[in-house]
Amino acid sequence: MYYIVTGAAGFIGANLVKALNQKGVTEIIAVDNLTRADKFSNLTDCEIADYLDKQEFIDMIEHGQFDGGIEAILHQGACSDTMESDGRYMMANNYRYSLSLLNFCQEQEVPLLYASSAAVYGGGNVFREEREFEAPLNVYGYSKFLFDQVVRRRLAGADSQICGFRYFNVYGPRESHKGRMASVAFHHFNQYRSSGKVKLFEGCDGYGHGEQQRDFVYVDDVVKVNMAFLESSISGIYNLGTGRAQSFNELAVATVNACRALEGLPALPLADLVAAGLIEYIPFPDALKGKYQSFTQADTERLRAAGYMEAFAGVEEGVADYVNWLAR
């Protein structure tokens, strides 16, 4: 019996493969699209049974070649580019692909754990898993939103576990292939290493310089939640964030000070880092106006009610750990 991880060479997918390995699981089929081949490096320290191209995997599913042979599917495969303008591609890659796997898992009574996104909430300021608060701003968010609606309709009559996680701003190891879509923490680290400073947006939407806030969640915590639910039979759609919004200033301070620690230098407060030119504010881009979430904070009430009680790392802890990993 195989575990299937889609998007396995990607950011969260590769971390899930590694976590399964740490639990002694190696009968894993890694599914991805390696058109961009550099993602392969995320799996070089992982043990898998086989690798399948995404289209080959879909064809095998449709022709019954995995019938009776799958333990669970952890579906992370998707286009996560929030600036993607090709709606046909986005809906085929994110929505239809997910729907095919949902149908298969229900027919085979196989657990399906899948990646949704906080992008379903759009520009609102209430992040609770209820329809009235969902209004995506882009086709990426809409593709995730639409699949969540299908899941909601099917949950009551489901024959096996269906569990969706609305990821907030995830950062951590194995994301370097994402380029401009990599986390802010990743870009801050590289900015500091290359230029000796971190750049933040000036104020917008009523927020001061660098004071826009996001729910930044470390990938290790994302993996822990997935593993905990995989071991349960709990279904539903859950926010996966820390439940605590932190500012881009806090993230930048954590990144710069973690880098300074590697250089044997003392930590400095925000005001001193700005005065020293180590944090710099730049004009807010016109291209992002009206498409930018200046505040996100996961409502974690349902996640906690489902029994997940582990603490989440704040940026101070998570970024320090990540910087040490990046600097290896």
Is the model's pLDDT at 80 over the cut of 70?
A: no
Q: Is 140 an annotated catalytic residue? A: yes
pLDDT tier, 123 (very low <50, low <70, confident <90, very high otherwise):
confident
Mean pLDDT of the chain: 94
Q: What is the pLDDT of residues 17-37, one digit of tens each?
A: 999 999 999 999 999 998 888
Give the whole-angstrom CA distance, residue 163 versus residue 187: 31
Distances (CA, A) of 44 to 54, 135, 137, 171: 19, 39, 36, 20
* Mean pLDDT value across residues 104-112: 97
* Mean pLDDT value across residues 51-76: 96
pLDDT tier, 237 (very low <50, low <70, confident <90, very high otherwise):
very high
Residues 6+ apart with CB under 8 A from 172: 11, 15, 183, 185, 218, 219, 220, 318, 322, 325
Q: Is 178 an annotated catalytic residue? A: yes
CA dihedral (195, 196, 202, 206) positive or negative: positive
Distances (CA, A) of 197 to 80, 102, 189, 193, 200: 28, 45, 9, 8, 10
Q: What is the pLDDT of residues 244-279, one digit of tens each?
A: 999 999 999 999 999 999 999 999 999 999 999 999
Q: What is the pLDDT of residues 167-207, one digit of tens each?
A: 999 999 999 998 888 999 999 999 999 999 999 999 888 89
Query: Which helix or strand (DSSP H or E) is residue 173 part of?
Result: none
Joined tokens for residue 261: 């620690």
What pLDDT, on the 0 to 100 scale, is given for residue 244?
Answer: 98
Give the whole-angstrom CA distance, residue 326 versus residue 173: 7
Give the whole-angstrom CA distance, residue 279 versus residue 4: 42
pLDDT tier, 46 (very low <50, low <70, confident <90, very high otherwise):
very high
Q: What is the pLDDT of residues 273-300, one digit of tens each?
A: 999 999 999 999 887 777 677 899 999 9
Nearest CA to 4 out of 54, 42, 38 is that of: 54
Is the model's pLDDT at 86 over the cut of 70?
A: no
Give the active site residue among 3, 95, 140, 308.
140
Give the active site residue among 18, 51, 178, 197.
178
**pTM (predicted TM-score):** 0.95
